[in-house]
Structure 1
Amino acid sequence: MRAPAFWRTRGLPARLLAPLGAIYGAVTARRMRREGVRAEAPVVCIGNFTAGGAGKTPTALALADALAAQGRRPAFLSRGYGGAIREPTRVDLNRHRADMTGDEPLLLARRAPTVVSPDRVEGARLAAALGDVVVMDDGLQNSSLAKDLRLAVVDGGFGVGNGLCLPAGPLRAPLETQLDAVDAVVVVGPGAPGAEVGRLAASRGLPVLQADIAPDSRTVAALRRGKVLAFAGIGRPEKMFETLRAAGVLVAEEMAFPDHHPFTRAEVASLLARARRKGLRPVTTTKDWVRVSGLLAPGEEHDIVALPVTLEFRDPAALGRLLAERLRRPALRPSA
């Protein structure tokens, strides 16, 4: 879905939907308080307080790198949103497509073993057999699996929007309830909304880690040579457009699609034709690329540029200390 504009304010639509939001938030809060099943390996959950994108997948990838630097063997766990797989499955980049696994798992699998499973407990069992720490991409509000470290990722430019629960606002549960259910907050990028969430988290004694999204320098250098048509189907498409402009890329046209948008061949062909007519270079996110690439005709493979990004923690040492402190529990291996 695409986030409605009223999620940023408490105007009439938000006020009318607030009673429904209160009910939704209360139900989610009650579910979050349930005790989960302990996995055979420590579990790190990368989630967010709101619906939509905040930078969870780049955070998960950066966290995997930090774990590897400590000698750990991370394995990712994803529910595979938008994919057809219903049983715990290890992602195979030579066999699986986005319509089978969802888009994020295909990105995660480039870095470390990745398991897709709508059932988090069963998925964690398989992931624990592939590594010695399980990194969950999303699942903060899912209580079926106990977590050893819970990180909430906050978009600096959006924060928690109007502070109301779905459908009146973007929150999945009341912010106070969710702050009680996390061990640290990661604020990605600058912005007053995210800074305010960070201050609130710090006032409750939670560690607040600052991070930034950095686009690939070689890709940016190539894009600076001309004008681009930027398109994205992520939680906040404007974040990708802002990243390009901040890097000095001339964005002549923007096209925003809903998060996890299932592109069609007709849409891709129309987008390419539009770019050719206007002399623009199409560029999108790596997450969108895994959904679009299978729709390209022979000879079009290089017509769309995927913009790789990495998440960089401003204080990597603070992250390292947090991981070392919270993940002291060794992985348990089932008895033969």
Structure 2
Amino acid sequence: MREPAFWHGPASLKSHLLQPLATLYGAVAAKRLERKGIDAGIPVFCVGNYHMGGAGKTPTVLALARLLRELGEVPVVLSRGYGGQLRGPVKVDPSRHSAADVGDEPLMLAERLPVVIARDRADGVALAKSQGASVLLMDDGFQNPAVAKDASIIVIDSHRGLGNGKVFPAGPLRAPLPPQIARTDALVVVGDGSAAKMLATEMAVRGKPVLAARLKPDDASLTSLQGRRVLAFAGIGDPARFFNTLRKCGVDVVSERAFPDHHMFSKADIDSLLSEAKRDGLTLVTTEKDLARLKLRGELPVWAQAVVPFAVTLEFEDGAVLRKLVSDSLFKARENRLRA
């Protein structure tokens, strides 16, 4: 879906008219947050958002996975598999599954670490543990109470913030902000914008870590686009963030095309984009997540092989603070289970 423009603007008539529905939705969502989930038996880290749409969860999951491995842990990702048709639980296999089966984010993550999808996340815990998991990394699911979390890390884009700050459908929030903040253990602010400053200040006042981070382009991606003029396209939560990232990295973005989040690209879509790019002498570039939706059994079809992926990693301003947060959370989670 495409996010309504009024979600990210000043107070509007649309948001005002939708407020009664938002109040009802928010009450149900807040009540749901209070439910107690199952104990997975191993530490559970959840990477989530307060709002709908993208903010950088997937790069954060990958950054946490790298750190956990450095600490001697075996992280396995547990995902709902949004956008995929399989209910699970199933271990994602990039050589066998497509984004239509398991969702684009799980497919992309599975190229780097073990991923289990389950429509009911609680059903996926046993399968994840059977893969040797010492830690579960939940990709999204902060508002889902099925599995108890030992640490919840919220990711927010510094340029978009929380939009108009209203609950769906009047705004982008998935639940009222106070109960979400109460269940947050750390905040990751991606980028150098100021839209998340008030939220970061509130977190700091509450004594919760606020981690500054930025998306760093892969050297190989930058080299492949050096000296080229590009047509950039994306079907993610915030395509503009991708286009802006390219420009900040010095990539000459001549044209851009935004598609709805999780858009399943057809051959006709790519043929049209390639035709436009060829006509104007441009290189077609997209995100790794979008590229995952184009792959079939781990390979790009012939008609999509001219598409160039732009890979990024999340780099934290103070890695020591993140390491301490993760180490302390692991210790506390295991100590609590020994006392139980």
Aligned to 1:309, which of 309, 312, 332?
312
8 Å contact from structure 1 (residues 40, 128) kept in 2: no
- State the shift of 1:274 in Å: 1.0
8 Å contact from structure 1 (residues 40, 125) kept in 2: no
- Aligned 1:1-336 pairs, distance under 5 A: 1-8=1-8, 9-130=10-131, 131-294=133-296, 297-298=301-302, 300-328=303-331, 329-330=333-334
Provide the rounded CA distance (Å) in 2 between the counterparts of 1:192 and 1:14.
23
Provide the rounded CA distance (Å) in 1 between the counterparts of 2:197 and 2:126.
37
Matched to 2:92, the amino acid is V
Provide the rounded CA distance (Å) in 1 between the counterparts of 2:96 and 2:291.
17
Matched to 2:24, the amino acid is I
- State the shift of 1:296 in Å: 6.0
SS in 2 for 1:173: coil
Matched to 1:179, the amino acid is I
Q: Give the corresponding residue for 2:338.
A: none
Provide the rounded CA distance (Å) in 2 between the counterparts of 1:148 and 1:233.
32
Q: Which runs of 5+ in 1 are unaligned?
A: 332-336
SS in 1 for 2:233: strand
Q: Which deviates more, 4-13 or 159-168?
A: 4-13
Deviations 1:243-282 (A, max 9, x none): 0000000100010011101111111111111111111101
Provide the rounded CA distance (Å) in 2 between the counterparts of 1:16 and 1:202.
34
Deviations 1:188-246 (A, max 9, x none): 11111122221122122211111111111221132131210000000000000000000
What is the number of equivalent residue pairs in this alignment?
331
- 4+ aligned runs moved over 3 Å, structure 1: 293-297
Relative to structure 1, the CA distance from residue 296 to residue 318 in structure 2 (aligned partners, 3 Å threshold; closer, same or farther) is: closer
- State the shift of 1:292 in Å: 2.1
SS in 1 for 2:18: helix
SS in 2 for 1:94: coil
- State the shift of 1:330 in Å: 4.3
Provide the rounded CA distance (Å) in 2 between the counterparts of 1:303 and 1:263.
14
TM-score normalised by structure 2 residue count:
0.94
Provide the rounded CA distance (Å) in 1 between the counterparts of 2:125 and 2:5.
36
TM-score normalised by structure 1 residue count:
0.95
8 Å contact from structure 2 (residues 295, 301) kept in 1: no
SS in 2 for 1:193: coil
8 Å contact from structure 2 (residues 98, 295) kept in 1: no
Q: Which deviates more, 90-99 or 230-239?
A: 90-99
Q: Give the corresponding residue for 1:334.
A: none
Provide the rounded CA distance (Å) in 2 between the counterparts of 1:182 and 1:247.
32
Q: Which deviates more, 4-13 or 243-252?
A: 4-13
Identity of aligned residues (%): 49
8 Å contact from structure 1 (residues 265, 296) kept in 2: no
Provide the rounded CA distance (Å) in 1 between the counterparts of 2:284 and 2:160.
26
- State the shift of 1:91 in Å: 0.8
Relative to structure 1, the CA distance from residue 94 to residue 288 in structure 2 (aligned partners, 3 Å threshold; closer, same or farther) is: same
Provide the rounded CA distance (Å) in 2 between the counterparts of 1:121 and 1:105.
17
- State the shift of 1:137 in Å: 0.2
8 Å contact from structure 1 (residues 268, 296) kept in 2: no
Provide the rounded CA distance (Å) in 2 between the counterparts of 1:163 and 1:303.
40
8 Å contact from structure 2 (residues 294, 304) kept in 1: no
Provide the rounded CA distance (Å) in 2 between the counterparts of 1:265 and 1:239.
25
- State the shift of 1:112 in Å: 1.4
Provide the rounded CA distance (Å) in 2 between the counterparts of 1:259 and 1:68.
31
Provide the rounded CA distance (Å) in 1 between the counterparts of 2:97 and 2:300.
17
8 Å contact from structure 2 (residues 270, 304) kept in 1: no
8 Å contact from structure 2 (residues 122, 146) kept in 1: yes
